[in-house]
Structures are given as C-alpha cells and as structure tokens.
Amino acid sequence: MFKNILIPTDGSAVSRKAIKAGIKLAQALGAKVTGYYGIVMLPPSVYGDGDLIEKNVVKTLDRLARATGEKYLDEIAQAAAAAGVEYTGLISKPASAYEGIIEATKKKHCDAVFMASRGRSEFKKLLLGSVTHKVLSHSTVPVIVYR
C-alpha cells in the first residue's frame, strides 16, 4: 500500500501522538518513515526595522530553530528504530508550514502523509487556516489525519 510515509512534527503533544500512530502504521505496512520539520521564520520586519536587525540575531534564531527541529526529528528516529522501521529525516525552511510538507513529500518521494489534526498554531489557524486543511487541499498523495 504505502512505501514511504511522511510524518511532519511541530513538537506538540498531539504531534507526538501522531508520530507513534504513524510509526505503527508504517510497521504494519512494512513502510519506511520520513520525519519532517519546517522552520518557518518570521520576516525581519516582525522583530523591528529590518535594516536594524543584526545578521547575527537572524543567524542565532535560525540555529536555534534548526536545533529544535533536530531534537523533534530525533524523537521520530528513536521511535522508528524501536519499532524496526526504516527512517530518514528532513528539515527545510519553507515559505509556510503546509508548503514545506507538500515539498517534502515530493523531495523524499513519499506516497502518504500522516499528520496530527492540529498542532501549536491555533492562533495562526484563526488568521490563515489550518495547516492540516491546506495540506489536505494541496497534497497529491493521500493524507491521513490523526485525531
């Protein structure tokens, strides 16, 4: 059925539950898992006048976000290893969270996405719409939503 399942994470509790369920599905199907974390940085103008922001500040924020992503992906890697499921991970800096998930499915040749119904971005959901909804609307592969 599925050979490579993308499991995006934002580190939230519901995302962690989806990781466990997604790995169980991969194990049952004999599929591998690709973990994904997107670093969606705010434009410099959000922090103040873009010209006044030191490049070191932006680099520091990027480094911290990457370290956070590596930590979250390590959780997926450990859970996959414990279940005997092949794992690979990807961190990227997409324009938006849903675009990163869509791009990751293509880049890593995933044939399904297994994701939580909602994560950390409740406020953004009110303004922009649910990441899950946008993935469902734009994905070219099946999307399994964990509740």
Q: Which domain holds residue 98?
A: 4-146
pLDDT > 70: what percent of the chain?
Answer: 83
Give kind and range of the element (H or E) at residue 40: none
User: What's residue 121's pLDDT?
Assistant: 53
Domain count, the chain: 1
User: What's residue 127's pLDDT?
Assistant: 44
Tell me what the pLDDT averaged over the chain comes to. Answer: 89
Instruction: Map residue 127 onto helix, strand or coil.
Output: helix
- Output the DSSP codes for 102-119: HHHHHHTT-SEEEEES--
DSSP-derived secondary structure letter, 129: -
32-57 tens-digit pLDDT: 999 999 998 766 555 555 555 667 78
Domain CATH for 138: 3.40.50.620
Q: What is the mean pLDDT of residues 98-106?
A: 98
Higher pLDDT, 19 or 122: 19
Residue 136 burial (CB count, 10 A) = 15
User: What's residue 119's pLDDT?
Assistant: 58
pLDDT reading at 31 higher than 80: yes
52-90 tens-digit pLDDT: 566 778 788 889 999 999 999 999 999 999 999 999 999
